[in-house]
Amino acid sequence: MAMRRLNLEFCPMSAKGIEEWRTTTELPEDLFGPLSLQETPAHRARLIPAVSSMLLAYQNECNTKITASSSTCVSCDVKAATAFLRPLSFLHLTTTEDGEDGPLVRIYVIPLCKKPDCLRMATFINEDIMDRTLEEQKAQVAPGKQCPCGISVGTMACAKCRVASYCGREHQKRDYKDHKKICYVLQSMREMSEGQRMWFREGEEAASSSLSSTTKPKSSTTKSSPTQSSPPKTPKSSEPTRKVRIHCAPIGAAPAWDTTAQVPTSLIGQFTQPLPPTYQATFDATMQPLVATLQPDFNSRSDPICLICQVAPTTFGISFCMSQLQAPEPFIIVGIVPTCGSQQCKEGAYEMNKMFQQEQSMHDAVNACKICGKYEGARKCVRCKTVAYCGEEHQRQDWPSHKRECRQLAMTKG
């Protein structure tokens, strides 16, 4: 397995008496690459479990630092009992001419008690802090891309965050000590926002194209982009199933592969349609026989060493399935965790899957419209900043339910 070394930066948040610290580790070589690769769902399906597994090795160290300090839970202010780790990956970065920086994972270490509600609040608080940091830094940078010295002509933006600007290398080096503390946050927020907008804008354009195909198409001489997905054909109501792509992604260095399978057309919807309450249960039931059929491939085409204990050879690939059937080009991601087959390692793989699903659901809860699930144009509630809506109509529709928790969430976030 080809591995590549990277830096880990541990950044305590609201933790008393704990300084930032750094170390190095290794991740599979194929997880590194340009931002265009990092933003794809297939790559994230491999990256998130790999990073989550890596963090398990540092969880006890972070817990010890938190419990040994006088830190309190960021949500309820009781004595902190554990460390909540929130990683941000920057595996697309390259080493500078001075040999600095390069690929890294920054890990926010958040003091937390063990109550589930506080875990949810900690996630919201962490994302709100990142949002505020971004806005504060943007406010500090004068219009016209002005250098801290006051010069605004001929300045160049920081190559990483593209927010701060400098008239030359000398002033950039002088400001780097202060700027580096927030450069990665700025870069992360900008890239995640841009990548998300691009991903969902393409999806909605494809969906709109599909909806408008009932009218006579206009002739066009513009060639379609080779990278742009074509909208799926709307299945006829008489067709009970439809063939879709299954993207099998082993966690580690083993290459991914694609296959196809028939799935019920009832699971395939427009990109912006909300999912019914029974969707996940129906999807899981559909995937069970498919996973059983593919299990021999999962066992033989995964990494040869168990990802959990990292000692014994792989005998069983634990799989977890993620529906992308609301995308313009419907498909399913199957992540595969190579295990030795022992009960302990199987449980570790399931726990890794649980963490991944939790991260995804938390991200959706904060960034997608609570009513319809749309990302495009969604804005957070100005009061609590923990739920989002695509417009006033859906916000008013949800208000009778949301108002009961809005005040409490806003007070918790200060």
pLDDT band at 271 (very low <50, low <70, confident <90, very high): very low
User: Hey, what are 399's tokens?
Assistant: 């208000």
Mean pLDDT (whole number) for 337-366: 72
More confident residue, 134 or 163: 163
State the average pLDDT over residues 246-275. Answer: 79
Mean pLDDT value across the chain: 73
Predicted local confidence at residue 25, as pLDDT: 92
How confident is the model at residue 40, as a pLDDT?
65
Least confident interval from 174-183, 240-249, 315-324:
174-183
In this predicted structure, the answer to whether residue 237 has a pLDDT above a threshold of 80 is no
- The domain spans of the chain are 3-132, 156-207, 241-367, 379-412
Kindly report, residue by residue over 278-304, the tens digit of the pLDDT. 888 889 899 999 999 999 999 999 888
The region of weakest confidence among 49-53, 71-75, 401-405 is 401-405
Q: In what order do the strands lie in the sheet with 21-28?
A: 21-28, 3-12, 104-112, 82-90
Token pair in block for residue 46: 């491999």
pTM recorded for the entire structure: 0.39
Predicted confidence (pLDDT) per residue in 80-100, tens digit = 999 988 888 778 777 654 455
